[in-house]
Amino acid sequence: MKLLADENMPYVQTLFGDWAEVTTCAGRDITPEQLKGVEVLLVRSITQVNEALLTKADSLRFVGTATIGCDHIDTELLAQRNITFASAPGCNKVAVGDYVLAALLTVAEHKGWLLKEKTIAVVGVGNTGSQVAERAHALGMEVLLCDPFKAQQSPTGFVELAQALTADIISFHVPITRDGAHPTWHLLDEEVIHQLHGDQVLINACRGEVWDNNALLLRQQGANPLTLVMDVWEHEPEVLAPLVKHTLLATPHIAGYSLEGKARGTFALYQALKTQYGQEVMNSVEQLLPTPPITHITCAGEYDQDLCTRLVRLIYDIKADDRAFRAALGQHGFFDQLRKQYPQRRELGSLAVESTQIDVQNTLHGLGFSAQR
């Protein structure tokens, strides 16, 4: 069986190499010719799987995306052609939670804020948004949840977008949608951007098109710029370069790029594909992962935001990602290059943190660290 996979997908050879003829290539460059005779196509979010790509894909039986977002896949077309489709919901939600936590602590350091005195609005309370909300609760923040679809099912506990937009920090975790009752394309449009006040912080770790980047640039060039954390950009891999110097943190769509998150993405497709072919599956992704560089730490003393910042940076230094982005900005192909060469990043849960004080221990676990190894 011929299997073609994106080269940025770890563990493809390990999981599929014994029963498929595996070829890998750059996800943005897959051509219709390459799909001739291919039965299984495994992509990440940068491959547009549409009519144009599938013109010569006569043998294609299975398409999988090792990502949460599916906006790059024409799922109707796949259904029409009887091609099984699988994605990896939730695979990198923990990594996104880690990313936003690291961003919050860096924002707080920059602004001299105590996060427990601040309000955060989570817009989109699914897999990734819930991770962010949990960590913000553990930080002692007031958390506003905004999700009109979830609010329909359980009307208490959610706020309207207008109220969410009054929070000190607003973090976006919605899929990109252009239709329906609550489309997210340019959810943050010129009008909304204009209403925000200069002390507010915006975080986008979902899809670039949720924010109107040109309108944002205009706002940032004015008298009261916002504090911005941008992992995703309109028109990736292009970036509106002048906007970068008006961001506090800028990264190349790597919020979900923990080793665990990527491995879970490939593993979800392995399970779906093996099941389709009636084969036995390994049931845990853990056995694929190497031992993390630091596995265990004991904390003395009280919990404070500074301790939290130091512990998070031990595992994930978001400022290093930001520095690499700014250093490479403008070089040809820099965005994809940074993603391809992304260093191995582990999740906070790979570190077991112990403290003799139960409240410190509980807080650190709420932030995503493990208890015992």
Ligand X SMILES: O=C(O)[C@H](O)[C@H](O)COP(=O)(O)O
Instruction: Tell me the backbone φ, ψ of residue 97, rounded to 5 degrees.
Output: -60, -45
**Does 222 interact with ligand NAD (rule: CB under 6 A)?**
no
Residue 62 phi/psi, 5-degree rounding, is: -150, 130
Binding-site member from 231, 234, 260, 322 for ligand NAD (CB under 6 A): 231
Question: Was 47 annotated as part of a binding site?
Answer: no
**DSSP helix/strand/coil, 190:** helix
- The secondary element (H helix, E strand) that includes residue 70 is none
**Closer Cβ to ligand X, 68 or 139, answer by number:** 68
Long-range Cβ contact pairs of 157-164 (< 8 A, separation 24 or more): 158/125, 159/121, 161/123, 161/187, 163/121, 164/121, 164/122, 164/123
Nearer to ligand X, 256 or 292 (CB): 256
Cα distance between residue 91 and residue 220, in whole Å: 34
Interaction between residue 292 and ligand X (CB under 6 A): no
**Which residue numbers are catalytic?**
207, 236, 253
Among 127, 166, 305, 309, binds ligand NAD (CB under 6 A): 127
* Binding test (CB under 6 A) with ligand NAD, winner from 56, 61, 150, 313: 150
Is residue 120 within a helix (H) or strand (E), and if so which, with residue range? strand 119-123
SS3 64: strand
- The single residue among 69, 124, 349, 368 that binds ligand X, judged by CB under 6 A, is 69
> What is the residue-wise DSSP string for 263-295?
HHHHHHHHHHHHHHTT------SGGGSPPPS--
Question: Count residues contacting ligand X (CB under 6 A)?
Answer: 10
Taking Cα atoms as reference points, which of 88, 107, 151, 100 lies closest to residue 125?
Answer: 151
Chosen residue from 174, 188, 229, 364 binding ligand NAD by CB under 6 A: 174
Residue with the CB atom nearest ligand NAD in the bound state: 126
Can residue 27 be called a binding residue for ligand NAD (CB under 6 A)? no
Which residues, listed in sequence order, are joined to residue 41 by a DSSP beta bridge?
Answer: 4, 63
Which of ligand X, ligand NAD, none has residue 219 at its interface (CB below 5 to 8 Å by kind)?
none
Q: Which stretch binds ligand X (CB under 6 A): 18-26, 56-64, 66-74, 217-225?
A: 66-74
Cβ neighbour number for residue 112 with a 10 Å cutoff? 6
Our finding on whether 69 is near ligand NAD (CB under 6 A) is yes
Distance CA 52, CA 68 (A): 23
Binding-site partner at residue 184 among ligand NAD, ligand X, none, CB < 5 to 8 Å by type: ligand NAD
Annotated binding residue at 231?
yes
Kindly state the smallest distance separating residue 69's Cβ from ligand NAD, in Å.
3
Q: Is 67 annotated as a binding residue?
A: yes
Contact between 73 and ligand NAD by CB under 6 A: the answer reads no
Per rule CB under 6 A, is residue 65 in the interface with ligand NAD?
Answer: no
Instruction: Among 126, 256, 292, 349, indicate the residue that binds ligand X (CB under 6 A).
Output: 256
Binding-site residue numbers for substrate are: 45, 67, 257
Residues near ligand X (CB under 6 A) are 8, 44-46, 67-69, 92, 253, 256
